[in-house]
Amino acid sequence: MLRYIGRRLLIAIPTLLLVITAAFFMMRAAPGSPFDGDRKLLPEIEANVLAKYGMNKPLGAQYVDYLVGVARGDLGPSLKYRDKSVSDILKENYPISLKLGLSAIVIAGIVGVSLGVMAALRQNQLTDNVVMAVAILGVCIPTFVTAPLLVLGIASKLGWLPTAGWNDGALPNMVLPVVVLALPQIAIISRLTRAGMIEVLHAGYIRTARAKGLPEHLIVGKHALRAAILPLVSYLGPACAGLITGSLVVERIFNLPGLGKFFVISALQRDYTVVMGMVIVYAALILLLNLAADLLYAALDPRVRLA
């Protein structure tokens, strides 16, 4: 088990390196520079600024410098926010994105699995049809449609919740963004759970459990659910990635100071180091989540052997 984890983490390093390399050279290939302001800098000043950030060296040398820095855990200074390092920005803003994303995935998991199980137990009945109709809607309505519509209806017209802002993560400010993020996930999770559950309920060992006279809640809750949520586990990695990209839109609409907002702005302003830092964090997160999903998969399904 530990060997497996170690091996997976080792494989993750070249992947991460590839991500860093691609992102680094793509950013640098872009026309423009972080020091293009409204006023053109004097050539001497520009040379000084470039020298300060080591950007007067050839690109290859800069790449090596950057890699050495990353290996030491130093993501460099921001090129736009003069008195902040990339780590500062990440530390300040990442917890906000994380709090939003985690709340959304937890809520989506609980609601989605419950709905899916309910639908599967009453297959082709009214409950099932309603849940599946809602699930189709949830998949088809993009976050950038639900978010403004909810703001317009619930926040602006009814005035029940604040329209935007973070307010240090106060509950009323969290409700709408989390709901918007969770809705499409609830839809997908309930569909996956339903499909898995229906398949499992026909399995031989469930019939055996029934024949033994086990109470229904034990059959469903203990034996069936465990196998039925397997497809869900492999979905969760990409789902978190989806939440991350979803949060780009949600953070913009609700004007939240999370990382998503920074990504687009920093990319547009050519703030190379900030963009790189964010790409690295997200890529590492996805790799870790995929590993976690595989471990969980093996824990749930004894037939799966980690090798």
Partner 1 sequence: MSVLADIATVAPPAVKGRSLWDDARRRLLRNRAALASMIALGVLVALAAIGPFLVPFAYDQVNKADTWVPPLTHGHLLGTDALGRDLLARLLTGLRVSLAIGLVATTVSLVIGVAWGATAGYLGGKIDEAMMRFVDVLYSLPFIFFVILLMVTFGSNIVLIFVAIGAVEWLTMSRIVRGQTLTLKNKEFVEAALAAGLGRTAIIARHIVPNLLGPVVVYVTLTIPAVILAESFLSFLGLGVQPPMASLGTLVAGGASDMELAPWLLVFPSVVIVVTLMCFNFIGDGLRDAIDPKDR
For partner 1, the closer CB: 101 or 209: 101
Q: Does 203 bind partner 1 (CB under 8 A)?
A: no
Phi-psi region of 169 (alpha: psi -120 to 50; beta: other; left: phi over 0): left
Report yes or no: 150 and 179 within 8 Å, Cβ to Cβ.
yes
Which letter does DSSP use for residue 123 in this model?
Answer: T
Amino acid in the structure at residue 169: G
Give φ, ψ of 269 to 5 degrees.
-90, 5
Q: Based on the shown chain and the rule CB under 8 A, indicate whether residue 286 belongs to the binding site for partner 1.
A: yes
Q: Write down the least CB distance from residue 298 to partner 1, Å.
A: 18
Are 100 and 110 in contact, with CB atoms under 8 Å apart?
no
Position 165: which residue type?
G
Pick 112 or 219: Cβ nearer partner 1: 112
Region 131-190 residues binding partner 1, contact defined as CB under 8 A: 136-137, 139-142, 144-145, 147-149, 151-152, 156
Q: Are 251 and 132 in contact (CB under 8 A)?
A: no
Extract the tokens encoding 87.
């780590």
* Residues near 99 by beta carbon (within 8 Å), at least 6 away in sequence: 169, 174
- Check residue 243 for interaction with partner 1 (CB under 8 A): no
Mark the segment that binds partner 1 (CB under 8 A) among 41-49, 82-90, 168-176, 264-272: 264-272
Q: Does 208 bind partner 1 (CB under 8 A)?
A: no
List contacts with partner 1 (CB under 8 A): 15, 18-19, 22-23, 26-27, 29-30, 136-137, 139-142, 144-145, 147-149, 151-152, 156, 241, 244-245, 248-249, 252-253, 263-264, 267-268, 275, 278-279, 282-283, 286-287, 290
